Amino acid sequence: MSSGKRPLSFIVAQSAMCAVLYAMGSYLTAYISSPWGSGQFRPAVVIPAVFSTLFGPMVGGLGAALGTLIVDSAKHGQIYVRSLVSAVPGNFVGFYLFGRLVKRFSWENYVKATQISLVVSNLIVAFLYVYFRVFVEASYPVIFQEAWVYVSLGLVAWWYVTMLPFVLFLGPPLIRAVASAFPGIVSEQMRSATVKGEALKKSFSLAMIVPGLVMLFVGVGIVFADPDWVMALNVAPNTVILAGMEAMFMIGGAILIFLGLLVLATGRFIIRRK
């Protein structure tokens, strides 16, 4: 099962399991949103990342797409059209890409896959979602018509900074546990990398420190910029959202930097040598 082409029944079963777990995990935080009032806090994103790594890109992509539609529809009490046009394609592309990037498995590739796929997935979801609400539904405030690009980029930043630590910290021990318990369902590369437990503390720490510094720099820039000038650029439609942006970038960046430095300084991480 760990090599060769997997049967369709296997892909369907694992995709369904991924979707259910992703939906259940996402629902727990579905009512925590970004400073823009939309865009969920979703640490459960680690679930399709793990499934993409263990069972391949199609499983991760389908599971993520179906899972996000389930949770969004459950939250709103109906098939959620906004999810269909934005979250479903974004999640599918992002986690299909994740699975492709870790196909030749190593923990270095896992770090790269996390960074790339989160950016790609969130770009697709954010821009499709905001564009749909502003120009198709016209359900966002009118001022968002001029600021929709900034709102979209803000959502990308929000999702990235809140998702990255969970995929990097929780993903490896989950993958290691499954690979140890069921070695027959994973590749030899994955079994070998897991057993050897490549520490890679520098790769993991830099993956958080670098985006954390960028986030913190943006937050500091917003804090010290002239509010009237920032508002004139349509970076934020009002002062309340501007304050939320400041907090998001400052706090999110500081947390990422702290976690990255913690890994770098202590030398401790979830992947350990036996």
- pLDDT, residue 4, reads 54
Is 137 within 8 Å of 98 (Cβ atoms)? no
Cα R_g (the chain), whole angstroms? 19
Q: What is the per-residue burial (b if ≥16 Cβ within 10 Å, else e) of 64-102?
A: bbbbbbbbbbeeeeeebebbbbbbbbbbbbbbbbbbbbb
- pLDDT, residue 201, reads 76
In the chain, which residues have pLDDT < 70?
Answer: 1-4, 194-200, 229-238, 267-274
Query: What's the CA gap between 256 and 252, in Å, rounded?
Result: 6
261 class by beta-carbon count within 10 Å (0-12 exposed, 13-18 middle, 19+ buried): middle
- pLDDT, residue 3, reads 46
Contacts of 240 (CB under 8 A, 6+ apart): none
Is 1 within 8 Å of 48 (Cβ atoms)? no
User: What class does CATH assign to 8-266?
Assistant: mainly alpha
* 221-264 pLDDT, tens digit each: 878 877 776 666 666 666 777 777 788 889 989 999 998 898 87
Query: What's the CA gap between 86 and 194, in Å, rounded?
Result: 35
Query: What's the CA gap between 52 and 11, in Å, rounded?
Result: 11
Query: What's the CA gap between 127 and 135, in Å, rounded?
Result: 12
- pLDDT, residue 274, reads 46
- pLDDT, residue 197, reads 45
Contacts of 10 (CB under 8 A, 6+ apart): 1, 55
211 class by beta-carbon count within 10 Å (0-12 exposed, 13-18 middle, 19+ buried): buried
